[in-house]
Amino acid sequence: KELRKMFSTFGLPLVLVSDNGSQFTSTIFCQFLSANGVVHKTTAPYHPSSNGQAERYVQTVKKSLRAMEDEGGKIELKLYRLLMQLRQSPNTTGSNSYNLMFGRSVRTHLSLLLPDSKNAQEVTRIVRRQFQVGDRVQARDYTNSRYKWSFGTIMEKESSLLYKVKMDDGSVWRRHVDQLLKCEV
């Protein structure tokens, strides 16, 4: 129901990224996305930071709402006020989510007081580990309490951060780059 409402407002997305929760891996959910031409990608198991932006946003909202507990008033009003503030905060691109979505700045009480100024900041890019198909790697092993890492070979690059690894025992695992180490041959 909520996805239908969102899709009717903003259109159908090309890709939807979620964790591996049962509500996102159910047959009904997957059929709904498929029927609407939406590619469903899931994050690597046991790696919530694969969806780090969303996870961080939820943490920020929870922390901010806790800080507002003493103010009194309805939680819904606090949430709307908080979301307005978060949506006008600049992100790593130097713009804010409101501007990116609607192509203009949001008008607030604060914007009436402050002169228009843009702070140009250099954003340093983090160099991520990259692997090629055929690279020998160690992959984080969550199935074995005795060994933390197991050996395998990169089979496929699913995205810039997610790889399929054929393990030495023949099984195939999906792992985030943070869960892989390159082996020197």
pTM above 0.85, yes or no: no
The length of the chain in residues reads 185
Predicted pLDDT at 146: 78
Alpha-helix runs per DSSP H in the chain: 2-10, 22-25, 27-35, 52-67, 75-87, 97-102, 109-113
pLDDT of residue 98: 82
Please give the pLDDT value at position 129. 81
How distant is the alpha carbon of residue 154 from its chain centre? 23
* pLDDT in the model for residue 116: 54
Mean pLDDT per block of 10 residues along the chain (185 residues) reads 86 88 88 93 78 78 84 84 82 81 77 56 55 93 84 93 94 93 82
Give the span between the Cα atoms of 167 and 97, in whole angstroms.
41
The pLDDT, as a whole number, for residue 180 is: 93
Check: CATH 1.10.10.10 for 136-182?
no
pLDDT for position 122: 38
Given this model, what pLDDT does residue 85 score?
Answer: 81
Domain residue ranges of the chain, discontinuous segments joined by + = 2-42, 53-113, 136-182
